[in-house]
Amino acid sequence: MDKPILDRVMPILCDPITGASLRKEEGQFISETGRFPIIRAVPRFVAGDDYVSSFSFEWNTHYRTQLDCFRSDRSSEEQFIKKTGFGPGDLRGKLVLDAGVGAGRYTDVVSRWGADVIGVDLSYAVEAAYKNFVDRPNVWIAQADIGALPFKPQSFDAIFSIGVLHHTPDTEAYFKKLVPLLKPGGSIAIWVYPKEGDYLIRNEWIRFVNKIPSRMFYAWCRWFVPWAQARLDRPLVGLVRRVFPFSTQGLGVENDILDTFDGYSPKYHGIHSPEEVEGWFHDMGLQQIRRPSDWKTCVRGIRSASHH
Amino acid sequence: MNTESRPGSVVIFGQVVLVSIYLLIVGLWLLIAGRIKAEGIGKIIRRPFRPPYAGELRDIQHDDGNCWIATLPCELLSDKDGASRLVVCEDDRLLGPAHCGHEDIREGGGGRFSHWGAQVYFSTRDNSDPRTNGRRYHVRELT
């Protein structure tokens, strides 16, 4: 049975290549120019998980680790508010795009706030997200590429993309593909990796580490992170931590294993200055551009109400 | 949903060993090539070959708020290297907690301290002036 949110999704859906409207027929979405199957209940607008297979692996392995609804805390909600500046009242009843949904950490937050949320991801993380939100009538999940999304221009009241765009081949270009999807007056908030600290060090490692098969590197993270965390006061581990920064976020060892894997396994790892990110917002004519918190590369802006 | 079989413990052990060796080689190359800076590495290598440091805190200077600063030998591993093993004592009582942020020491005091580079940032238990309260302040390095 279709979820109620589909009534809001159908009018904005389109063929990601031609822009032609889509209709739902016989277990697939069809336009005059293309067919997009629904496989295991998730619409697929891409043929595979392309360059993001590590995310397919990690989010289907850790499909509950970071979701507040399973953790019984508010860690993701607090982080979402800090990184976007959005509060519950800002998004209630709005149509919101989560660009790079993963297992649905932030979709969980925003859908509980009362927004209708469309979550897209290029990876098979969508299967984890679908499973997490199968009973939530205001969440719709699809596998799609941020570079060619199946939505018509000016469709969304708000868009957020937290920790995702730097994993695309071109952070700036992919950000700029999101902006036209905003309605006039709509808000967009993103966070990308800053060009500083541990992110700079990981940038040196990543081309070597992302060649390791995901399962092997994950097995190593499962051994290494708990081992190192139990020895943080030892000088050698202190040195290792400076040379190979691993996660110690205080949200439990499973989160730290996931976050360490996540930090070193992707194919792309863009790092950017706050000024650079703000420049993208200016380029796109966004207004009221601001950084919602001391996370320097979190930037938010509003599409001009007169923008056509 | 994960119906496929998990690898056995021998396979996992082998994977961990292989990845460890690979990462060690890559890490050494990144260090030698200067792609990653690790200023503390020499101190860590020398650490087992020298006796643990112990000494009085002298020439104590006021930093700000409840925080005081004294100079230590620069060859000691500090929190800047992610690896301080220093304890600070007020007379015969240990101060703490260690590894605190400097702003936390300035505001909170109460014995908080941090060993950062060639200096120790510390506070007294009652936030009094360590230069005039008549107590003795000394440090030692844990083995």
Q: Regarding beta strands A95-99 and A156-162, do their DSSP bridges make them parallel or antiparallel, or are they unpaired?
A: parallel
The pLDDT assigned to A33 comes to: 84
Between the alpha carbon of residue A136 and those of residues A56, A93, A265, the distances in Å are 22, 14, 31
Q: Which residues pair with A13 in a beta bridge?
A: A151
State how far residue A7 is from chain B, nearest Cα, in angstroms: 29
Same domain, yes or no: B119 and B55: yes
Instruction: Sort out which chain B residues have CB atoms less than 8 A from A203's CB and list them.
Output: none
How far, in Å, CA of A131 to CA of A42, rounded? Answer: 10
Q: What is the ipTM of this complex?
A: 0.89
Using the Cβ of A206 and the Cβ atoms of chain B, whether some distance falls under 8 Å is answered with no
Residues of chain A with pLDDT under 50: 308
Q: According to the model, what pLDDT value does residue B5 have?
A: 57
Show residues of chain B in contact with A244, CB under 8 Å.
Answer: 23, 27
Of the candidates A165, A195, A175, the one whose C-alpha atom is nearest the C-alpha of residue A266 is A165
Identify whether B28 is part of a domain: yes
In this predicted structure, what is the pLDDT of residue B102?
Answer: 94
Residue B17 at interface with chain A, using a CB cutoff of 8 Å: no
Same domain, B67 and B127: yes
- Cβ of B18 and A216 within 8 Å? yes
Do B66 and B121 fall into the same domain?
yes
Same domain for B111 and B54: yes
Alpha-carbon distance of A158 to A177, in angstroms, equals 14
Per the domain annotation, does B83 fall within a domain?
yes
A6-194+271-302: CATH topology is Rossmann fold (3.40.50)
Backbone angles phi and psi of A267, in degrees to 5: -70, -45
As a whole number of angstroms, the distance between CA B17 and CA B47 comes to 27
Q: What CA–CA distance (Å, rounded) separates A66 from A48? A: 25
Q: Is B16 in Cβ contact with A223 (below 8 Å)?
A: yes
Angstrom distance (rounded) from CA A199 to CA B112: 30
Which parts of A90-164 are beta strand (E)?
Answer: 95-99, 116-121, 139-143, 156-162
Q: Please, which residues have CB within 8 angstroms of residue A16's CB and are 6 or more apart in sequence?
A: A45, A144, A145, A148, A149, A150
Residues B110 and B53 reside in one and the same domain: yes
CB A254 within 8 A of CB A62: yes
| Structural domain for B5, as ranges | 1-37
User: Cα B132 from chain centroid?
Assistant: 28
Out of A220, A242, A243, name the one closest to residue B20 (CB).
Answer: A220
Q: Are B62 and B33 members of one domain?
A: no
Which ranges of chain A would DSSP assign to H, the alpha helix? 6-9, 53-61, 68-71, 75-84, 88-91, 105-112, 125-132, 171-178, 197-209, 214-229, 235-243, 253-264, 274-283
pLDDT at site B6 = 65
For residue A60, which phi and psi values (nearest 5 degrees)?
Answer: -80, -20
Q: Could you tell me the pTM of the whole model?
A: 0.81
Quote the DSSP letter at residue A2: -
Burial class (CB in 10 A: 0-12, 13-18, 19+), A7: exposed
Of A201, A205, A219, the CB nearest to B26: A205
Whether B42 is covered by a domain: the verdict is no
- In chain B, the number of structural domains is 2
Residue B2 lies in a domain: yes
Question: How distant is the Cα of B123 from the closest Cα of chain A, in angstroms?
Answer: 22
B101 and B55 housed in the same domain? yes
Secondary structure element (H or E) that encloses residue A38, with its range: strand A35-39
Q: What is the pLDDT of residue A78?
A: 96
Q: In chain A, what residues touch B116 (CB-CB under 8 Å)?
A: none
DSSP classification of residue A79: H
**Chain B hits for A212, Cβ within 8 Å:** 19, 22
Where would I find the beta strands (DSSP E) of chain B? 54-56, 61-64, 67-71, 86-90, 93-94, 113-116, 119-122, 137-141
Same domain, B31 and B64: no
* Residue B87 included in any domain: yes
Same domain, B91 and B128: yes
* Peptide bond just before B97 cis, omega within 30 deg: yes
Q: Are residues B83 and B55 in the same domain?
A: yes
CA angle B142, B99, A298 (to 5 degrees): 145
pLDDT for res B3: 45
Q: Same structural domain for residues B33 and B65?
A: no
Residues on chain B touching A241 (C-beta within 8 angstroms): 82
**Domain-embedded: residue B130:** yes
Cβ contact (<8 Å) for A219 and B19? yes
Rounded to a whole number, what is the distance in Å from the CA of A123 to chain B's nearest CA? Answer: 16
**Torsion over CA: A38, A42, A46, A48 (sign):** negative
**Domain co-membership, B51 together with B26:** no
> Which positions of chain B have pLDDT values less than 70?
1-6, 82
A173-200: string of b/e by CB count within 10 Å (b at 16+)? ebbebbbebbbeebbbbbbbbbbeebbe
Domain boundaries, given as residue ranges, for chain A:
6-194+271-302, 211-264
Contact B20 A241 (CB under 8 A): no
